[in-house]
C-alpha cells in the first residue's frame, strides 16, 4: 500500500511540474557522450521545454528537430544511440570532428533522413546494415574514418541515394552493384573491388586522353606558375603603397544591411568588431544564449571603449535573421536607465552582430552563484536596489513602451549589472511586441525551466503576467542565492522548484532559513519579509491575481505590501493545498476500491 500511495503521490506532482520534451532529453543524452572542447553544445540543457532554440538545431513548424549542423565543431567522444530517437531528423552533419567508437545501429530508425555526413572522424567498426532502411537518404558520407568489413548489401535498397563517399577507410570485399550506379561515388583508399573482374574502384570520374592530357597538364602548370608570380609582384607593389597609409575600416564585400536605420545607433564595419574582439577569440567569450555568443571587446580610438558584441548563430537561416531584426527593432525602441541600450550593429551576408555597453559586473546570476575567490558577495542594500531597478525596467517595457514589450525570459542571468551595480534588463532575444488592441501574443513556449509561468506551459500564450511570474522567481533568487530549480537531496535525485521550497519555509514560519547564507545576519528582517511576500504574489498560480509591475515598484519603494492582497494570497494558497490533498485522497480511494473489486473477482473465479 505504501508503494501504491507513493506512486499516486508522484502522479499528482507530475501535474505541477513540466517535463522536458523527449527530443530535449535525446539531445542532452547525445551531448553527455560527446566531448565539447569549444562549448558549441553549452545550450543543450535538459531543463528546456523545447529543443528548437538549441544552438545548431533547426525545427519544422511542428517544433520537431529536422536538422543538426555540427560540422568542424571540435567534437570528440562517442555518438550516442539516442540519435535514433529524433524520428523527424532530415539532416545530420557531424563531419570533420574527432568522434570515435562505432556507428549506432539506431541511425536506421531515422526514416526521414536525407543527408548523413559522418566523414572526417575516427569512427570504427563496421557500417550498420540498419542504414538500408533509410529509404529517403540521398547523400551519405562516411569517408576518412577507420571503418572495416564489407559494405552492407542492404545499402542497395537506398533507391533515393545519388551521392555516396566511403573513401579512405579499411573496407574490403565487393561493392554492391547498385552503389556503382549512383550519380556520384568514391570508394578509393580501401580494399574493395568492383565485382568479378577485381577492378579497383577509384570513383565514377574516368579520365581519358593519355599523352594529350599530360601535355595539357604541363602547359597548365607553367601558366599557373606565371600567374602566381604576377600576383605576388602586384601584391608586393600594393603593400608597399598601403603600408604607411592610416588604417581604414570597410565592410567585407557583399554586405547586406536590410536598410536598417535606427537614429543614433551606429552601424559598425565587420573589421572594426573583428579587431575589437581579437577576431572573436574564445578567450573573450562572456557567455552564450539561444541565438548567439557574446564577446568582450575594446573599440579602437583614444578612449578604448569596452563593449559586449553578440554574434548571432546561423544567420542564413530564417530564425537567425528574425532574431537579429527583432532585437535591433525592440532595443532601439526601448530607452530607459534600467534597460540594456544598443550601441550599434553590423550585418553582412554571413554575419549579424549587435553591440552593447560592457557590463563590468556581468549578471545578477553570476554575482549570486559564481563568486570568485576574494570577491565579496552582494550585500543586502545592493540586492534591494537590484530588485527595484529590474522592476522599473520591466514596468517600462510593459506599461510605457509603444508598442508594449513582453520579455519572456526574465531571470537573474538576464539582469546585468553595470559598474555601480545598477540593474539593467537585457537579452530581448525572446521578446515579442504586443499590439495595442491585445495583451497577449500566440507563439511557441520559450524560456527557462523554473521561470516559466504554469499557464504559459499549458497554453503557449505569453503575457505581461508571465513576465511578472518570472520576476517573482528572480526575486527569490536574489533573496536566497539559489537557482530556480535545484536538487532536493532528501528526496534522492529529484528536483524541486525554488518557489515551492520558499512556500514551504514561509508556511512553517522558518523565514530566516530562506536567506542566502553569504549574507549571514546582515539583512533587514522587515525588508526580507516584504520581498518574499512580493515574490509570492508575483508567482500566484492565478495570473489575474498577480500585481502589475507598477504595483511591484510601489511596494518595493514603500516597503509595504497591502495587507488584503497578502491575506488573499494566503487564503488562495491554503485552498489550493486543500484541493490538492483532496484530489490525492480521492485518487487513492478510487484506486483502492478498484483493487478490492478486482481481488473479489479473482476469489470468485478461483472458487469455481
Confidence of residue 205 (pLDDT cuts 50, 70, 90): very low
For residue 435, pLDDT over 80 is answered with no
Percentage of the residues of the chain whose pLDDT score is greater than 70: 74
Rg (CA), the chain: 30
Residue 219 in any domain: the answer is: no
Q: Do 352 and 308 share a structural domain?
A: yes
Range of the domain at 290: 266-357
pLDDT, one tens digit per residue, over 293-331 is 899 999 987 778 899 998 877 666 555 566 666 667 766
Indicate whether 330 and 450 sit together in one domain: no
Is residue 44 located within the same domain as residue 163?
yes
pLDDT score recorded for residue 139: 92
Pairing, β 139-141 against β 115-117: parallel
Q: Find out whether 310 is annotated in a ligand binding site.
A: yes
Residue 103: predicted pLDDT: 94
**Does 492 share its domain with 512?**
yes
Residue keyed to cell 542492404: 154
Instruction: Please indicate, yes or no, whether residues 472 and 496 belong to a single structural domain of this protein.
Output: yes
Of 409, 427, 467, 516, catalytic: 409
Which residue did the predictor score with more confidence, 579 or 141? 141
Q: Does one domain contain both 395 and 337?
A: no
Residues 296 and 384 in one domain: no
The last residue of a domain, from among 138, 169, 193: 193
pTM (predicted TM-score) = 0.55
Place of cell 600567374: 227
Q: Cβ contacts of residue 176 below 8 Å, gap of 6+? A: 151, 153, 155, 156
Q: What is the DSSP string of 98-131?
A: EEEEPPPGGGGG-TT--EEE--SSEEEEPPPGGG
pLDDT, greater one: 606 or 309: 309
Among 327, 357, 387, the domain-final residue is 357
> For residue 9, which of 536, 500, 591 has the smallest C-alpha distance?
591
* Digit-coded pLDDT (tens) for 172-189: 888 888 888 888 888 888
Residue 440's CATH number = 1.10.510.10
Pair (337, 368) in one structural domain: no
Mean pLDDT of 217-231: 70
Buried b (16+ CB within 10 A) or exposed e, 305-330: eebbbbbbbbbeeebbbebbebbbbb
Lowest-confidence pick of 78-87, 107-116, 158-167, 252-261 = 252-261
In this prediction, residue 15 carries a pLDDT of 43
Q: Is residue 344 part of a domain?
A: yes
Grid cell of 161 as nine digits = 541515394
Residue 118 in grid coordinates: 559522418
Grid coordinates belonging to 566: 497578502
Give the pLDDT score at 12. 47
- Judge if 550 and 487 occupy the same domain: yes
Set of cell numbers at residue 332? 532601439
The DSSP string of 358-398 is --TT-BHHHHHH-PPTTPPPPPHHHHHHHHHHHHHHHHIII
Q: Answer whether residue 547 is part of any domain.
A: yes
Inter-residue contact 284 to 297 (CB < 8 Å): yes
| Statement: residue 363 has pLDDT above 50 | yes
Q: What is the CATH number of the domain that holds 353?
A: 3.30.200.20
Q: Is residue 581 part of a domain?
A: no
Q: 10 Å Cβ neighbour count for 418? A: 16
pLDDT in tens, 27-79: 988 988 999 888 888 778 777 777 877 788 888 877 889 999 898 888 999 99
C-alpha cell at position 526: 522587515
Residues 506, 382, single domain; the answer is yes
501 falls within a domain: yes
Packing angle, helices 464-480 and 525-538, rounded to 10? 150
CATH of the domain at 47: 3.80.10.10
Residue 540 is assigned to a structural domain of this protein: yes
Residue 457 placed within a domain: yes
Instruction: Select from 561, 577, 596 the last residue of a domain.
Output: 561
427 plus 385 within the same structural domain: yes
Is 314 in the same domain as 426? no
Overall domain count for the chain:
3
**Is 393 domain-assigned?**
yes
* Per-residue model confidence (pLDDT) at position 548: 92
409 is catalytic: yes
Instruction: Compute the Cα dihedral for 193, 194, 198, 199 and give only its sign.
Output: negative
236-256 per-position pLDDT tens digit: 776 666 554 443 333 333 333
How does strand 170-174 pair with strand 146-149? Answer: parallel
Amino acid at each position: 500500500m505504501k508503494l501504491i500511495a507513493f506512486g499516486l503521490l508522484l502522479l499528482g506532482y507530475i501535474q505541477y511540474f513540466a517535463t522536458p520534451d523527449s527530443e530535449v532529453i535525446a539531445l542532452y543524452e547525445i551531448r553527455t557522450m560527446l566531448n565539447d572542447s569549444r562549448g558549441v553544445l553549452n545550450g543543450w540543457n535538459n531543463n528546456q521545454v523545447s529543443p528548437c532554440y538549441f544552438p545548431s538545431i533547426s525545427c519544422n513548424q511542428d517544433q520537431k528537430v529536422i536538422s543538426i549542423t555540427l560540422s568542424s565543431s571540435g567534437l570528440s567522444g562517442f555518438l550516442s544511440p539516442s540519435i535514433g530517437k529524433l524520428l523527424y531528423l532530415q539532416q545530420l552533419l557531424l563531419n570533420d570532428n574527432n568522434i570515435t567508437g562505432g556507428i549506432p545501429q539506431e541511425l536506421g530508425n531515422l526514416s526521414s533522413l536525407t543527408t548523413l555526413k559522418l566523414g572526417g572522424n575516427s569512427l570504427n567498426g563496421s557500417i550498420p546494415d540498419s542504414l538500408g532502411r533509410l529509404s529517403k537518404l540521398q547523400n551519405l558520407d562516411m569517408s576518412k574514418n577507420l571503418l572495416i568489413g564489407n559494405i552492407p548489401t542492404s545499402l542497395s535498397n537506398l533507391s533515393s541515394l545519388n551521392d555516396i563517399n566511403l573513401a579512405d577507410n579499411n573496407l574490403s570485399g565487393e561493392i554492391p552493384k547498385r552503389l556503382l550506379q549512383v550519380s556520384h561515388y568514391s570508394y578509393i583508399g580501401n580494399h574493395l573491388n568492383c565485382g568479378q573482374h577485381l577492378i579497383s574502384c577509384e570513383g565514377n570520374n574516368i579520365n581519358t586522353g593519355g599523352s594529350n592530357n599530360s601535355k595539357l597538364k604541363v602547359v597548365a602548370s607553367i601558366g599557373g606558375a606565371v600567374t602566381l608570380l604576377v600576383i605576388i609582384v602586384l601584391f608586393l607593389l600594393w603593400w608597399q603603397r598601403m603600408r604607411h597609409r592610416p588604417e581604414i575600416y570597410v565592410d567585407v564585400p557583399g554586405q547586406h544591411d536590410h536598410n536598417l536605420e535606427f537614429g543614433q545607433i551606429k552601424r559598425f564595419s565587420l573589421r572594426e568588431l573583428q579587431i575589437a574582439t581579437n577576431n572573436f577569440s574564445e578567450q573573450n567569450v562572456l557567455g552564450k544564449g539561444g541565438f548567439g555568443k557574446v564577446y568582450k571587446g575594446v573599440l579602437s580610438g583614444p578612449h578604448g571603449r569596452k563593449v559586449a558584441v553578440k554574434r548571432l548563430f546561423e544567420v542564413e537561416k530564417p530564425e537567425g535573421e528574425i532574431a537579429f531584426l527583432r532585437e535591433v527593432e525592440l532595443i532601439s525602441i526601448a530607452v530607459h536607465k534600467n534597460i540594456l541600450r544598443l550601441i550599434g550593429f553590423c550585418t553582412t551576408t554571413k554575419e549579424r552582430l549587435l553591440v552593447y555597453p560592457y557590463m563590468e559586473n556581468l549578471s545578477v546570476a553570476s554575482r549570486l552563484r559564481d563568486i570568485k575567490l576574494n570577491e565579496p558577495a552582494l550585500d543586502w542594500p545592493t540586492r534591494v536596489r537590484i530588485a527595484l531597478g529590474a522592476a522599473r525596467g520591466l514596468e517600462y517595457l510593459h506599461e510605457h513602451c509603444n508598442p508594449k514589450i513582453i520579455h519572456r525570459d526574465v531571470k537573474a542571468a538576464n539582469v546585468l549589472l553595470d559598474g555601480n551595480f545598477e540593474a539593467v534588463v537585457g537579452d530581448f532575444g525572446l521578446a515579442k511586441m504586443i499590439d495595442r488592441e491585445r495583451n497577449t501574443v500566440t507563439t511557441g513556449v520559450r524560456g527557462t525551466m523554473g521561470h516559466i509561468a504554469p499557464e504559459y506551459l499549458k497554453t503557449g500564450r505569453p503575457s505581461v503576467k508571465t513576465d511578472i511570474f518570472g520576476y517573482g522567481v528572480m526575486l527569490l533568487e536574489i533573496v536566497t542565492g539559489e537557482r530556480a530549480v535545484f536538487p532536493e537531496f532528501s528526496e534522492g535525485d529529484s528536483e524541486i522548484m525554488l518557489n515551492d521550497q520558499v512556500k514551504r519555509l514561509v508556511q512553517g514560519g522558518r523565514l530566516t532559513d530562506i536567506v542566502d547564507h553569504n549574507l549571514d545576519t546582515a539583512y533587514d528582517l522587515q525588508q526580507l519579509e516584504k520581498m518574499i511576500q512580493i515574490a509570492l504574489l508575483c508567482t500566484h498560480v492565478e495570473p489575474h491575481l498577480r500585481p502589475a509591475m507598477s504595483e511591484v515598484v510601489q511596494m518595493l519603494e514603500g516597503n509595504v505590501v497591502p495587507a488584503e492582497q497578502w491575506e488573499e494570497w494566503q487564503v488562495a494558497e491554503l485552498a489550493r493545498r486543500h484541493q490538492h490533498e483532496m484530489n490525492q485522497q480521492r485518487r487513492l480511494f478510487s484506486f483502492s476500491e478498484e483493487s478490492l473489486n478486482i481481488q473479489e473477482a479473482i476469489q470468485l473465479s478461483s472458487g469455481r
